[in-house]
Amino acid sequence: MSTSVSTSPRVARVALVTGATGGIGEAVVERLVADGFAVAVHYAGNKAKAEALVEKIAASGGQVLAVGGDVADEQQMQAAFDAVETAFGGIDVVVNTAGIMLLAPIAELNLDDLDRMHRTNIRGTFVVSQQAARRVRRGGAIINVSTSVTRTQLPTYGAYVASKAAVESITLILARELRGRDITVNTVAPGPVATPLFLEGKDEETIGRFAKAAPLERLGEPRDIAESVAFLAGPARWVNGQVLYSNGGLA
């Protein structure tokens, strides 16, 4: 199922952003549109928000398409990639921001939550990366999203970090497997970012502690992560097979 709005028959570079109704995903969409991309806005469940974002971008003259689907379902993602190629003629950049975060100490984690994160964060990244590896054109980029907690190792993040460490491994190996294709594959690992996903369930004291942790003494904003993604999607052609920590200097 897709909804498309295109204001011009001329398409330059094309990007697909999964999880585009989330805080970081939406910021990435808006930044890539500003950089001249035609962008496919992917959603899993929030169709209304995706269509509102599409209308907003189209009203300002951008070329945009909304596509739905479960990132962990290979048939649905194949259909989403097909819709983007039909609308815009090909795909140059895939940004996979789709993910879920469920926190608890390892000793107390509900294993159903572990399975949910595994399905979205690991299988979903693998399915999207597989389609991207088959579809992205020469000179393109594949960008996944991890977390800086793979280094800071905070309590209660064990299962989430395990899933994101897998994302990093998939990324680094795919970069080597695409040798000779002129396609870069990288991961952005944000620090604490003021999104609903991060803020949910945290009191003001906890949020303030996270804000003070980085030398820049603030939480990241979705636009900060979008800048890093735009760098990897555009001028950063010599950055490949890397994890870029976008966290304000957090250790």
- Sheet with 91-96, strands from edge to edge, namely 2-5, 64-68, 38-43, 14-18, 91-96, 136-145, 184-190, 243-246
Please tell me the distance from the alpha carbon of residue 118 to that of residue 123, in angstroms, as a whole number.
6
pLDDT value of position 130? 98
For 16-73, the pLDDT digits (tens) are 999 999 999 999 999 999 999 999 999 998 999 999 999 999 999 999 999 999 999 9
pLDDT value of position 1? 52
Q: Calculate mean pLDDT across residues 195-221.
A: 88
Instruction: Give the end-to-end CA distance of the chain in Å, rounded to a whole number.
Output: 42
Please tell me the distance from the alpha carbon of residue 140 to that of residue 6, in angstroms, as a whole number.
22
Q: Does residue 163 fall inside a structural domain?
A: yes
Q: Calculate mean pLDDT across residues 132-155.
A: 96
Is the predicted pLDDT of residue 4 greater than 70, yes or no?
no
Q: Does residue 251 fall inside a structural domain?
A: no
| CATH code for the domain in which residue 7 is found | 3.40.50.720
Query: Torsions phi, psi of 227, nearest 5?
Result: -60, -45
Q: Which domain holds residue 203?
A: 2-246
Residue 2's pLDDT band (cuts 50, 70, 90): low
pLDDT value of position 148? 95
Is 157 catalytic? The answer is: no
Domain count, the chain: 1
Mean pLDDT of the chain: 93
Question: Catalytic: which of 43, 157, 160, 245?
Answer: 160
For 90-130, the pLDDT digits (tens) are 999 999 999 999 999 999 999 999 999 999 999 999 999 99
Is the predicted pLDDT of residue 10 greater than 80, yes or no?
no
